[in-house]
Amino acid sequence: MTVAEPSTDGTYRDRIVAVEPGGNEYIAEADRHGTPRQLFWTWTSPNLEFATIFVGMLAVLAFGMTFWQAVAGIVIGTGLGATAHYFLSARGPLHGVPQMVLARAAFGFKGNAIPAVLMSITAGVGWFATNSVSGAFALSTLFGFGPLVGLVIIVLAQTALAFFGHNLVQAFERISFPVLAVIFIAASVVIFAHADLGNAAPASEGVGGLGGFLLTVGTSFGYAAGWTPYAADFTRYLPKTVSPARTGFFAAAGLFTACVVLEVVGAASATTGEASLADPTGSFTAELASPLAKATLLAIAVGAIAANAINIYSGAMAFVTIGIKLPHHVARALVTVFFGVAGFAVAWWALPDAAHSYEAFLLIIAYWVGPWLGVMFADQYLRRGQQFDHLLYDRSYANWGGLAAFLFGLVASVVLFANQEKLVGVVAKAVPELGDITFFVGFLLAGATYVALCRSKIAAEKL
């Protein structure tokens, strides 16, 4: 059965201060605009923030890496995440739908609800709260009012951007890019001037060894790959005729550049002797002269807004994709407000101990994103050359093998290889020097299982 794709009506196009209509429908050619080049700042700006810097600090202070070991782990982990982002972003203009709608081919309409819920929680609540807290503390330090006041300001700003939707979010990323880039480059120069990059004695309480290195790779991958379930959300408005290779390249290049540069700066800051996981923002800016320190605090707040405008926008988009019927014209905008309130509540709760669970959060993202990517890439491989857009809005379309492969990869990898404070897998307990390779194992298990379960089904759909 062929199901008509719900489509936009051509009235939104490049209007900036206008509420994006609808939810997760196909973007009609009349609404397509932009060039692949804009994706560089779309994915650079939201990663020019303190959460990115903190990943590098963790590598040295928590995982026991020297600076150069941290750099190697950061480049590998981020490179893997950016590669995945390349391939998923490249598909957006061709299909013209959000990333979680594309995932319906691999999971079926109903089966896709589980990864869509995970995506909604991760982006609309988890990342929203994490970034809001860092932005709130930055404003609090800069202006002298309480963190709660800073949190209210941050949440209102980023929720408003996401409420208006795609075009205003893209415009904010473009405008904030040069401001954030200049300030963070200046701060980076000062940090490197005070850093002891040849220090061969990492934090004594760190994990160290191969385990610490793999944890560095894992958290860097989790940070970069955490954006992949959003990838097509910000390429679907591009004209269908744009080059997929250029689309993927600029999206991946923006992500890779921002993450590697700021994570390496974070690792360098951890060698200055001032760094502390108890007060990461304060210890990072301690090496900076007062005017630059204030500018950096402002950049941290703006970067948090840039990141969370995307997080709440795509978190709401994923929730709409679950299939719950809402007023069509304002579905995404209504859900955005809901996630703004929920994210504020979680961030308020997290204010007293903001840094404690960041490492675990990054790894948990990688736990589910790893097998999700395994299923997505296996499906993309099996469907090469196949037309499947007619399946994406068909509520009767099922592909339970995709959900089974995802759950198997997720559960098996966590049970065997998870290495959290309160959750240690069987293999990780026996061989602790492995660190945490759950995301790699989940990716391979889910991908291989999907090929085994779904090859014949997808071959039959080609006929």
Q: 62, 255, 53: which is closest to 134 by C-alpha? A: 53
User: Looking at residue 252, what is its pLDDT?
Assistant: 98
User: Looking at residue 202, what is its pLDDT?
Assistant: 54
Total structural domains within the chain? 1
Task: With a cut of 70, say whether residue 409 has pLDDT above it.
Answer: yes
Quick: pLDDT tens for 281-324. 777 777 787 889 899 999 999 999 999 999 888 888 888 888 76
Task: With a cut of 80, say whether residue 205 has pLDDT above it.
Answer: no
SS3 85: helix
For a pLDDT cut of 70, what percent of the chain falls above it? 87
DSSP string, 128-152: HHHHHHHHHHHHHHHH-S-HHHHHH
User: Looking at residue 359, what is its pLDDT?
Assistant: 64
User: What is the arithmetic mean of pLDDT over 329-344?
Assistant: 62
DSSP string, 348-403: HHHGGGTTTTHHHHHHHHHHHHHHHHHHHHHHHHHTTT---GGGTT-TT-B-HHHH
User: What is the arithmetic mean of pLDDT over 263-277?
Assistant: 83
In a domain, 135, yes or no: yes
User: What is the arithmetic mean of pLDDT over 359-380?
Assistant: 88
User: What is the arithmetic mean of pLDDT over 378-400?
Assistant: 93
User: What is the arithmetic mean of pLDDT over 410-422?
Assistant: 89
- When the pLDDT of each residue in the chain is averaged and rounded to a whole number, the result is 86
Quick: pLDDT tens for 224-256. 999 999 999 999 999 999 999 999 999 999 999
Q: Cβ contacts of residue 411 below 8 Å, gap of 6+? A: none
User: Looking at residue 279, what is its pLDDT?
Assistant: 67
User: Phi first, then psi: what are they for 146, rounded to 5°?
Assistant: -70, 155
Task: With a cut of 90, say whether residue 141 has pLDDT above it.
Answer: no
User: Looking at residue 400, what is its pLDDT?
Assistant: 96
Quick: pLDDT tens for 364-374. 788 999 999 99
Euclidean distance between CA atoms 303 and 320, whole angstroms: 26
For a pLDDT cut of 90, what percent of the chain falls above it? 52
Identify the domain containing residue 302 by its residue range: 29-354
pLDDT band at residue 1 using 50, 70 and 90 as cut-offs: very low
Q: 196 to each of 189, 341, 361, how far by Cα in Å?
A: 13, 43, 29
User: Looking at residue 284, what is its pLDDT?
Assistant: 77
pLDDT band at residue 327 using 50, 70 and 90 as cut-offs: low
Check: CB of residue 231 under 8 Å from CB of residue 89: yes
User: What is the arithmetic mean of pLDDT over 412-431?
Assistant: 88
* CATH code for the domain in which residue 121 is found: 1.10.4160.10
- Looking at the chain, the number of H-run helices and the number of E-run strands are 19, 0
User: Looking at residue 212, what is its pLDDT?
Assistant: 87
In a domain, 306, yes or no: yes
- At which residue do the structure tokens 């061969």 appear? 200
Query: In this structure, what token pair is assigned to residue 141?
Result: 């330090």
User: What is the arithmetic mean of pLDDT over 87-95?
Assistant: 96
In a domain, 50, yes or no: yes
Q: Which of 253-262, 386-395, 448-457 has the lowest mean pLDDT?
A: 386-395
Task: With a cut of 60, say whether residue 101 has pLDDT above it.
Answer: yes
Euclidean distance between CA atoms 132 and 112, whole angstroms: 28
Q: Which of 33-42, 75-84, 337-346 has the lowest mean pLDDT?
A: 337-346
- Could you tell me which residue, 79 or 212, shows the higher pLDDT? 79
Q: 267, 276, 269: which is closest to 296 by C-alpha? A: 269
In a domain, 76, yes or no: yes
In a domain, 126, yes or no: yes
Cross-strand pairs, 7: 26
The whole-model pTM stands at 0.90
User: What is the arithmetic mean of pLDDT over 354-372?
Assistant: 75
Check: CB of residue 62 under 8 Å from CB of residue 206: yes
In a domain, 444, yes or no: no
Q: Cβ contacts of residue 32 below 8 Å, gap of 6+? A: 13, 93, 96, 237, 238, 239, 240
In a domain, 412, yes or no: no
In a domain, 323, yes or no: yes
DSSP string, 220-280: HHHHHHTTGGGGGGGTTTS-TTS-HHHHHHHHHHHHHHHHHHHHHHHHHHTTSS---SSSH
Report how far apart the first and last C-alpha atoms of the chain are (Å, whole number): 14
pLDDT band at residue 345 using 50, 70 and 90 as cut-offs: low
